[in-house]
Structures are given as structure tokens and as C-alpha cells.
Amino acid sequence: MAKFRKGGGKATPAISTASLPDIVFMLLFFFMIATTMREVELKIKNVVPEATELKKLENKQLISYIYVGAPSKAYRNKYGKLAKVQVNDKFINVEEGIRAFVDAERAERDEQDAKKLTWSLKVDEDAEMGIVSDIKQELRKASALKINYTAREKVKR
């Protein structure tokens, strides 16, 4: 005859952690792919104007951005309330800084890509046109003739 034991002294088995590294790496890869890193920290107020006729640019690697607008609240004490020009992460002077920026951007790329660069102006809708005109003149002097204005699509009502 078989002998039956009484007593429920059986403990539950430990939870297996063998698949934990797989789950961690799947999450890591997901966030590496899904996250975009901000290239430039905007130090200015930049609300681009609305437009109806827009065209999307194809190759974003061949675009260099020039931001124009009033300094944000954190920088207003140091730089004032008038519109400033920002390239990369710094404010520049239009007369000296635009040509230096153009030369630096061209030097970073190979010769073929440097010829195809587009200079995109992201101008705040409240900025005065005089500073935009000055930037265009300096770009013309630097032989940077392919200029784009960034705008947002006008909401149809």
C-alpha cells in the first residue's frame, strides 16, 4: 500500500529571473529607437508663423537652422527683450556670426554635401523684418543662397 503524507509543508518555488535580462534589453532597445535627442536648446521664443502653401524638405541632414526671436525668460535679464539670432546653442552677432556659422557648417560636411546645404530661418512671428533682412544679406555675402523659411500649417476653420 502507498503511504500518504499529511502536512502541507511544501513551499512555493522561487520566481525564475532567467528572462529578466531579455525584458530589460527589449525595453532598452525600444527607448533607444523611439527617443529623439534634441539637437539645440532654444534660448529664444520661437513661434513660427502660419502659412498655406508649404513644402516639406526631403533631406534633413542637409539643413542648418538659424533661429530668430526674443530671448526666453531665463535669458531676458542678460540679453534684453529685442530679437536675437541663435545658431546651435549660442547667440551670435549678425554681422560677424553668420559668415562664421556658414563656414563652420560647410567645414563639418564633405564637399558634395556642403554645396547642397539649405539655410532654414526659424523666425518668431513677432520678430521684426529688419533682422531677417540683415541675416539674408550676410548669407548672400557668404554665398549661402539656398534659403528656406520655416512655417506651420495654417489651421482651416
Which residue matches cell numbers 502541507? 8
In a domain, 118, yes or no: yes
In a domain, 135, yes or no: yes
Find the domain containing 75 and state its range.
Answer: 59-152
Question: Is the model's pLDDT at 11 over the cut of 70?
Answer: yes
Out of 14-23, 37-46, 106-115, 139-148, least confident range: 37-46
The pTM for the full model equals 0.74
pLDDT in tens, 49-107: 999 889 988 888 899 999 999 999 989 999 999 999 999 889 999 999 999 999 999 99
Residue 7, Cβ density class (10 Å: 0-12 exposed, 13-18 middle, ≥19 buried): exposed
With beta carbons less than 8 A apart as the criterion, state whether 117 and 62 touch.
yes
Amino acid residing at 141: K
* Total number of domains constituting the chain: 1
Confidence of residue 6 (pLDDT cuts 50, 70, 90): low
Residue 153 in 3-state DSSP?
strand
In a domain, 13, yes or no: no
**What's the CA gap between 20 and 42, in Å, rounded?**
39
CATH number where 145 lies: 3.30.420.270
Between 154 and 37, the higher pLDDT residue:
154
Give whole-number Cα distances, 73 to 65, 78, 79, 80, 128, in Å: 22, 10, 10, 10, 19
Three cell numbers at 70?
526674443
In a domain, 106, yes or no: yes
